Amino acid sequence: MPTLIDLLTRLSFLAAMPAVAGILITAGLLVVSRGWRLNVIALTLQYFFVVLLLTRLIQPEVAIVKGLIGWMICIVFYLTERRASALGQSSAVEGTGPSQRWRRWIMSARASFCLLAGILVLVAAYTAALRIPLPEVSTDVTLACYLLAGLGLLLVGLSEAPMQVGLGLLTFLSGFDLFYAALEPSLAVAGLLGAVSFLIALATAQLRVAQVTAGGEGKTL
């Protein structure tokens, strides 16, 4: 049975612009979407693409550990949101039927605004990647870093809902982690950064549970 490292080796052809494109799509989905299932899937895929890019900078084993931490975070989010749904007090988008939800998602002004803002961030990130290249990393990784940081910041800035903010912080940290792994390959730092990400996820989950339990809805745009 192939190991995880073997799988990554086979997919190493994606560890360039395709991974960057994947990061752009997943991070963009996080910015635009308010559906928790879609968000969890997007985050999972995002970590996958980040791991792919990390394999170019650090040892694959360490990259996989980072990925595992990320996927554990996704599991935490999944479980939290499932519980929230079970309590029947999910977010406003979740409160409607599937077909209405889909129609609203297409037509909502908020989603349009987020999409537009995301495009602006994309342009800014692209320009920054060309004008201010990051040291020790290639151009495509630079672009990925800027995309993750920018879209993560956008996600944090556009909402006060715990889950959205948590997703934004994790996206931002992923972008930074991608860059910093090239500068500082220390395992201690990698471990601590992973711990930070995990604790952010736990804190976010705790706040989400508090939000659901108290019956309040998070403020979103």
Partner 1 sequence: MIAGPLLLLIVPLVMAGVVYILLRWASLSALLSVGTALALGIAVVTLPLDQPVPVYFWGERQIVMGEAVTFLGRELVLGQADRVAMAFLFLTAAGLFFLAWRVAPRSLIFPMGLGLLSLLSGALLIRPLVYSALLVEIAAALSVFALQAEGQPATRGGIRYLTFTTLALPGVLVTHWLLERYVLTPDETGLLNMAAVLLAISFALLLGIVPFHTWVPAVAGDSVPLAGTFVLTVGNGAVWFLLLDFLETYPWLSTHPHFGSLFSTAGLAMVVVGGLLAPAQRRLGPLMGYGALVDSGGALIALGMHSRLGLTLVLLSLVVRPFGLALMATGLSGLRARNGDDDSFDALRGLGWKAPWSTAALIFGGLSVAGLPVSAGFIWRWPLCRALAPSSPGLALLLLLAGGGVMTGVWRGLSALLVRSRPPEGDRFPRVTSEGWLTAAVVAVVILGCVGIGLLPQVLAPLAAHLAETYTFFAP
Partner 2 sequence: MPSLLPVLTIILPLLGAGGTLGLSLVPRARAYTRYIALVAAGLTTVLLLTFTRMEPMTVVLSLWQPSLLFGAVPTLTTDVIMQPLALVLALTTCSAILVELGRTDKPHPRLMATLLASLSAGLVALWAANLLTMIIIWAVYDLLQAAGRIVAGGSGQTAVRSLALGCLATLFLWSGALLADGGAGSESWPLMALSDAPLTLWAVAGVLRLWVYPLHFSTPDDLGAAPSLAAPLLLGPIVGWGLWLRLAQANGGSVPGNTWVPVVAAVTLAVGGFLAWSCESPRRMLPWIGMGVNGAVLLAAGLVGDSATAVIAAGSVAWALGLAVLFLSDGFQREALWWNIPPLVGSLALVGVPLTLGFVAEAVLLGGLTRGGDPGWGGAFFVGHLFLIPSLVRWLLSPSSSPFPRKEGGQGIRLVARGLGLGLPALLLTVAGLSPSLLNDGVLVPSLGSLFAMPGLMGWLLWAVSLASGGVLAWQERNLRPNIRLFLSVAHDLLRLEWLYDAVVGALGRGLSILREADEVVGGAGALLWSWLLFFLLLLVWGGR
Q: Pick what 191 binds: partner 1, partner 2, none; C-beta below 5 to 8 Å, kind-dependent.
A: partner 1
Residue number, 18 or 191, with CB nearest to partner 1:
191
Nearer to partner 2, 169 or 205 (CB): 169
By CB under 8 A, name the one of 159, 174, 197, 204 that touches partner 2. Answer: 159
Number of CB atoms found within 10 A of residue 153's CB: 16
Three-class DSSP category at 73: helix
Position 124 contacts partner 1 (CB under 8 A): no
- Min dist CB 181 to partner 1, Å, is 11
Dihedral of alpha carbons 31, 32, 33, 39, sign: negative
Positive or negative torsion for Cα 205, 210, 215, 221? negative
C-alpha distances (whole Å) from 126 to each of 36, 40, 87, 143, 163 are 28, 26, 42, 6, 27
Nearer to partner 2 (CB atom), residue 61 or residue 160 = 160
| 62 vs 193 by CB, closer to partner 1 | 193
**From the list partner 2, partner 1, none, which binds 84 (C-beta under 5 to 8 Å, kind-based)?**
none
Q: What 3-state class would DSSP assign to 159?
A: strand
Site for partner 1 in 137-166 (CB under 8 A): 153, 156, 160, 162, 165-166
Name which of 109 and 214 has its Cβ closer to partner 1. Answer: 214
Q: What is the rounded distance in angstroms from the CA atom of residue 123 to the CA atom of residue 126?
A: 5
In angstroms, rounded to a whole number, what is the distance separating the alpha carbons of residues 104 and 101?
Answer: 5
Q: In which element (H, E) is residue 91 found?
A: none
Phi, psi of 159 (to 5 degrees): -145, 155
Residues lying near partner 1 in the complex (CB under 8 A): 153, 156, 160, 162, 165-166, 169, 172-173, 176, 180, 183-184, 186, 188-189, 191-193, 195-196, 199-200, 202-204, 206-208, 210-211, 213-216, 218
Residues lying near partner 2 in the complex (CB under 8 A): 153, 156-160, 219-221
